Structure formats: structure tokens, C-alpha cells
Amino acid sequence: MTPSPPLTAFADELSFPRRLIAGEHGGRLSVPIRTGTHRFHRDLPESRIWGFMGTVPGPTIEVERGESVAVEWLNELSGPLPVTDTLTPQSFDRNGVPVQCLPGLSGGVPDENAKALTGQTVVHLHGGLTPASYDGWAENLFAPGQPAVFHYPNDQRAALLWYHDHVMGVTKLDVYAGLAGLWIVRDERERELGLPEGPPLEVPLLIQDRNFDLDGKGRLTGELVHKTDPEVMEAFPPFTVVNGKVWPLLEVGPGTYRFRVINGSNARTYRLVLVEDGQPRLDRVTQIGTDHGLLRAPVSLPADGLILASAERVDLIVDFSDLAPGTELTMFNTAAAPFGGGSYPAADAEHAADLEGLLPYPEVMRFRVAEVESSRRPVPQTLADDYAQPLKDGLSDAPRRTILLVERELEEGPNMMTMRELGPEEHDATGALVTISDGDEKSSHRVVAAHFEDRTTFFPMLGQDEIWRLINMTDDTHPIHLHLDPFQILARRAIRYEIPEGGVGDRDLTAAIELERDPGDELQHLIDDNERGLKDTIRVNPNEMVEIAVRFKSYSGRYMYHCHILEHEDRDMMRPFVTMPAELMPFMG
Ligand SMILES: [Cu+2]
């Protein structure tokens, strides 16, 4: 049975983050990064937070395509970290409820090292085509008091981006503390389409999950709690927060709204379903954009609902125009955690509560139709024409890079998620080998890099198409994010694999991978229509290989790619790559 929620749903109004329009500030913004307080729910005490401009979320920075913007990130943070981090001794309480579904520390001891953090940060603009020196390399910290001025050319198509902390090892805690904000690039192409721009009809929705501590009497204190348990290494907090409010309510007029939605959670994947009178109404929703902006044409949502893994974004048009005042529509999440790509019927969305699946409260937010002025606009049928679907035939000469996602068991402490980059090997080589069989085609490989600090092995040449193959040998879906230029998905294929006993070493890996379905695999491994746009984050499901086509062309320099489950990125699912101008390639060792 689901515990009754300790907070009233749909009590707080949705808040809109403050807008910072770069053009109104001469293209120069000063953003202090501050300790502050924030009320996540009307019945909660104020929480201590770290926020851009001291708020949760930070201000939404809005820029024009090609408008160069300098942001002075002023680190004014002071310790201690406003989050209690804990690993519980047990995964379930005495009633058999998973501890992650419950507020409080559940017997866990506050982590002393987390408590000692005093506010080292570094800012990354996710989705930004940003020169390497301003991309927020995870080790280039801004200490409190240390100034940093980053220049953002914004020479890219209109899209919803977001900026957030990216510090090596503790991104999960810094983002959880509040260090995230939205960044919108606008351009004339979008304006030609007459889409809503700015409030009240364009509504950003930053969805996150949070948990809070309890006092001696079992009352919520508001203190942020990042809790993991011995079986689940990621935090899946029970309370869904949209734009900083737990389960908020938005009054809408009977018209057409544009929602810019982003999953800013550490680890949780959402599958969103809009419900009216107990019935799913996905037909009210049209998706027009994805991570890097407009799709070529509008698409309907997948039948089960809209899946959004950490850092994925969507641009949605929702039609409330035929609805009488007082009508209520509720958005539910039906995705169990950790997410493994499984399905769940949209018709059952109201009943998606699932303690085992670490989803005690499936509610996300509610819309109530009111007599607010709004208008109905048709959805344009042609959206973007500045990109085409990549053709595999045209990519036959493209360099191919292969990355394995591998879970490593540790004797002490929870397992670790790792990435392994492969290099070619002779068929008759000995030792720890990875073989990949695709029908009659068989190749042998050896792991050439496994940790962030291992030598760089990826040197993409600017302007050249590449194919990256991401092969998931774990039981969870991983949203893999490439910094810099966007990519497109080419294929999603079922795989089966065998890893012999002891096959996963610190660096070494012995495995046999076949590009065919595992008999026990129930996933479809399909590409959804809404994934066929310009993406920077792609879900790689269990027993799956995802192929993407990417052409880096913006800047040369050192960048990162990683899993966007922050607990994975921090430990050890992140690797560097260096984009190279063609003229320097002959001089590379
Ligand atoms: Cu991951």
C-alpha cells in the first residue's frame, strides 16, 4: 500500500522562474551563485539551497541566436552544503517500504565529506555550442570568491538549454542543492511560426525530484536529503518538484499553450501522461521540438506517454481550447525507478503508484481551466527544414567508435556503473577481449580506456561525420549526453551478451556481444518519432545498442561525454574527447 502523502498535492501555484533577457542587459549578465532559502511547498518550512541568484530554479536566461553573451558567474557560495547526503543501512524499513520512498534519513548517517563541502562549482551550459574554455570542464573549479567570465556565442538554432553545476564527483549534490537554471535560444525561424513566446502562454517546466528530512516528531523540516540505499546507488526521492514547487497547480485559459519541458532530476526517468476524467488525453499534446530545437514536423506522443530521461527536453503544444472553466487535467508519471525501458499502459496512469518501483506518488502537476485570456492557434505542419535524416549509406566511411556501458561489482560498497572505450584487436589476440558479432561479421576489441583520467582515445576531426555505438550491458536505461554539437539517432538494436565469471575488471573486460535479441528480452528497441530530431542526450536501454551519427563542427578542444544520471556521471560514467581541426591531424602522434 502507498503511504498517504505528507504534503497536499496541487496546493501551490506553479511559479515561473525570473527571466533574464540578455539583450536588455547589453549581452552582459552577472549571475551570483549564492546560498539562499526556498520554500518547496506551502506546508514546508524554508529549505536552505544553493542557487543561481540564490533561487530555485535559477533565472531563465533568454538569448537570440548569434547574440554573444558574457556571463560573469560569481561564486558567492558558502558552506556547509545545504543537503544531507546519506547511504542507509537497509533498503527497506520495518514495514517493508523501500526507504527511498520515505522522507528522513531512514537510519542513515549524514556523510561527513558531503557536509564539509563549501561551494566549489563550475557551470556547464548543457546543449550549448560553447568553446571548450567556457564549457565547464569538470575539474576547472570556481572556488568561492573566484571570478569566472564565460563567453557564450549562442551561434546555434533556437532551443531550450539548461545550465547547471558540473563539478567532478559532486555534481549530484550541487545540482540537487539547486544549482540549475534554464537557457532559451530564440531565432527568427521560430518567430515566423507564431509560437507562443514568454509567459503566460509559453511555460517552462523543470521537473525534478527531491526529499526532505524529518524532525524528532516526524515532521518534515525542509532540509534537503539526498538518500541512496545499499541496493540502489541512485537517489530516487519521492516528491516531484516542478519549477521548485512540489506538485504545483497551473491555471490555464481555454487555448493553446506551449510547454518547454526538461527533466532536471539526478536519476529519475519520467513517462508523462496527461489525464482528464480518468482518461489519458495524450491526443491533446503535440511535440514540436526536442533537445536542440524544432523537429521537422510535429509528432504525436508515444502511446504509453512521453519518456524523458535526465537532461532530455521537449517542446510541446497542448490544446485546452474546448474545455469548460473548472476542468482539471493532471499530469502523472508512470515510470518505475530505476528505469529499464519497460512499458506501462497510459490508461492506468492514475494507478501508477508503485513502491517497489520507487514511485510512491505518480502525480507531477495539475492544470485547471479558468477564465483566463488565451487563444487557440493551429500547430504549424512544417517546422524545421535545416536538417535531414542521416542516411546510413552516406556514412559508410565514417569513423566508428564503440562505448560499452558496464556494471562493475565491488566488494565494498554499492556497484559502480562504468564506461569502456574499445580499440581494435586481432582476431587471434589473447587476454581480455570483447567480441562483437553482427551476423557473419565478427570483430575483436580491447578496452583502451575505462576511467575519466585514462588517456584520451577519441579525437574527432571537425567537419567529419562519425558513428558512435553505445552498447548497454547493464539492467538500467542510461541517458548518454555528448557535449558540443548535436547528433541524430541512426539505429536502436537488440543485443545479447555474455560476460564470463570475473570478466569485469577495473579496466579489463571479457565479453561476447551479439547483435541479436536475447530470448528473455521484452523491450521493443524502437526509435520513437520524437527521437528523430537533433539530440544531445539519448536513452540507451538494457540489452540494446544505440548508434548515433555526430559531426562536430563548432569548436576544437577538450570536451566530455557521459551518462546524465548524475550518480553515474560522478562515479565513473564520464570520459573526455578532443575535437581536432583537420590541419592538426597530421601532427597527432
Ligand atoms: Cu548511467
Tell me the pLDDT tens digit for each residue of 508-549: 999 999 999 999 999 999 999 999 999 999 999 999 999 999
Task: Quote the ligand 1 centre to 232 CA distance (angstroms).
Answer: 12
pLDDT value, residue 374: 79
Q: Is the pLDDT score of 262 beyond 90?
A: yes
For the segment 307-312, the average pLDDT, to the nearest whole number, is 98
Is 165 within 8 Å of 174 (Cβ atoms)? yes
Mean per-residue pLDDT of the chain: 96
Task: Quote the ligand 1 centre to 146 CA distance (angstroms).
Answer: 32
Handedness of CA 423, 429, 432, 436 (dihedral sign): positive
Task: Quote the ligand 1 centre to 433 CA distance (angstroms).
Answer: 23
Task: Quote the ligand 1 centre to 479 CA distance (angstroms).
Answer: 6
Task: Quote the ligand 1 centre to 169 CA distance (angstroms).
Answer: 14
Residue-wise pLDDT tens digits, 34-56: 999 999 999 999 999 999 999 99
Sequential DSSP letters for 501-567: TT-B-SS-B-EEEESS--TT-----PPPGGGSS-BSEEEE-TTEEEEEEEE--S--EEEEEEESSHH
Task: Quote the ligand 1 centre to 298 CA distance (angstroms).
Answer: 29
d(CA 38, CA 16): 14
Q: Is the pLDDT score of 346 beyond 60?
A: yes
Task: Quote the ligand 1 centre to 315 CA distance (angstroms).
Answer: 24
Lowest-pLDDT range of 8-22, 219-233, 407-421, 444-458: 407-421
Confidence of residue 4 (pLDDT cuts 50, 70, 90): confident
Task: Quote the ligand 1 centre to 21 CA distance (angstroms).
Answer: 34
Distances (CA, A) of 510 to 39, 451, 574: 50, 17, 21
Residue 103: cis peptide before it, omega within 30 degrees of 0: no
- Going by DSSP bridges, is the β-strand pair 496-498/416-425 parallel, antiparallel, or unpaired? unpaired
Q: Is the pLDDT score of 274 beyond 60?
A: yes
For the segment 401-422, the average pLDDT, to the nearest whole number, is 91
Task: Quote the ligand 1 centre to 576 CA distance (angstroms).
Answer: 16
Task: Quote the ligand 1 centre to 569 CA distance (angstroms).
Answer: 7
Task: Quote the ligand 1 centre to 482 CA distance (angstroms).
Answer: 13
Residue-wise pLDDT tens digits, 228-249: 999 999 999 999 999 999 999 9
For the segment 408-421, the average pLDDT, to the nearest whole number, is 88
Task: Quote the ligand 1 centre to 486 CA distance (angstroms).
Answer: 19
Task: Quote the ligand 1 centre to 151 CA distance (angstroms).
Answer: 30
Task: Quote the ligand 1 centre to 563 CA distance (angstroms).
Answer: 5
Task: Quote the ligand 1 centre to 63 CA distance (angstroms).
Answer: 31
Q: Is the pLDDT score of 414 beyond 90?
A: no
Residue-wise pLDDT tens digits, 124-178: 999 999 999 999 999 999 999 998 999 999 999 999 999 999 999 999 999 999 9
pLDDT value, residue 487: 98
| DSSP-derived 3-state class of residue 115 | helix
Task: Quote the ligand 1 centre to 474 CA distance (angstroms).
Answer: 9
pLDDT value, residue 548: 98
Task: Quote the ligand 1 centre to 337 CA distance (angstroms).
Answer: 13
Q: Is the pLDDT score of 372 beyond 90?
A: no
Task: Quote the ligand 1 centre to 253 CA distance (angstroms).
Answer: 39
Strand stretches in 53-187, DSSP E:
60-64, 69-75, 83-87, 109-110, 123-126, 147-152, 159-165, 180-186
Contacts for 213 with CB less than 8 Å, ≥ 6 apart: 84, 103, 104, 105, 220, 221, 222, 223, 224, 225
pLDDT value, residue 3: 63
Task: Quote the ligand 1 centre to 542 CA distance (angstroms).
Answer: 11
Task: Quote the ligand 1 centre to 278 CA distance (angstroms).
Answer: 34
Confidence of residue 339 (pLDDT cuts 50, 70, 90): very high
Task: Quote the ligand 1 centre to 57 CA distance (angstroms).
Answer: 24
Residue-wise pLDDT tens digits, 178-216: 999 999 999 999 999 999 999 999 999 999 999 999 999
Sequential DSSP letters for 181-211: EEEEEE-HHHHHTT---STTTEEEEEEEEE-
Share of the chain above pLDDT 70, in %: 99
Distances (CA, A) of 281 to 77, 88, 248, 257, 331: 44, 39, 19, 15, 10
Task: Quote the ligand 1 centre to 72 CA distance (angstroms).
Answer: 31
Buried b or exposed e, range 324-361, using 16+ CB within 10 angstroms: eeebebbbbbbbbbbbbbeebebeebbebbbbebbbbb
pLDDT value, residue 545: 98
Task: Quote the ligand 1 centre to 308 CA distance (angstroms).
Answer: 14
Residue-wise pLDDT tens digits, 492-519: 999 999 999 999 999 999 999 999 999 9
- CA angle at 341 for the pair 336 and 344, rounded to the nearest 5°: 55
Task: Quote the ligand 1 centre to 567 CA distance (angstroms).
Answer: 8
Task: Quote the ligand 1 centre to 233 CA distance (angstroms).
Answer: 11
Confidence of residue 1 (pLDDT cuts 50, 70, 90): low
| DSSP-derived 3-state class of residue 392 | helix
Task: Quote the ligand 1 centre to 565 CA distance (angstroms).
Answer: 5
Task: Quote the ligand 1 centre to 571 CA distance (angstroms).
Answer: 9
Task: Quote the ligand 1 centre to 477 CA distance (angstroms).
Answer: 7
d(CA 172, CA 177): 9
Task: Quote the ligand 1 centre to 309 CA distance (angstroms).
Answer: 10
Task: Quote the ligand 1 centre to 345 CA distance (angstroms).
Answer: 25
Sequential DSSP letters for 475-506: SS-EEEEESSS-EEEEEEEE-EEE--TT-B-S
Handedness of CA 530, 531, 533, 538 (dihedral sign): positive
Confidence of residue 2 (pLDDT cuts 50, 70, 90): low
| pTM of the predicted model as reported, rounded to 2 decimal places | 0.97
Q: Is the pLDDT score of 452 beyond 90?
A: yes
Sequential DSSP letters for 327-363: -EEEEEE---SS--S----GGGGGG--BTTTTBS--E
Beta-bridged to residue 184, according to DSSP, are 62, 160
Burial (CB count <10 Å: 0-12, 13-18, 19+), residue 271 = buried
Confidence of residue 421 (pLDDT cuts 50, 70, 90): very high
Task: Quote the ligand 1 centre to 280 CA distance (angstroms).
Answer: 30
pLDDT value, residue 413: 72
Is 160 within 8 Å of 315 (Cβ atoms)? yes
pLDDT value, residue 588: 83
Contacts for 28 with CB less than 8 Å, ≥ 6 apart: 69, 70, 72
Task: Quote the ligand 1 centre to 561 CA distance (angstroms).
Answer: 12
User: CA-based diameter of the chain, in Å?
Assistant: 74
Task: Quote the ligand 1 centre to 2 CA distance (angstroms).
Answer: 28
Task: Quote the ligand 1 centre to 274 CA distance (angstroms).
Answer: 27
Task: Quote the ligand 1 centre to 400 CA distance (angstroms).
Answer: 22
pLDDT value, residue 412: 77
pLDDT value, residue 309: 98
Task: Quote the ligand 1 centre to 234 CA distance (angstroms).
Answer: 9
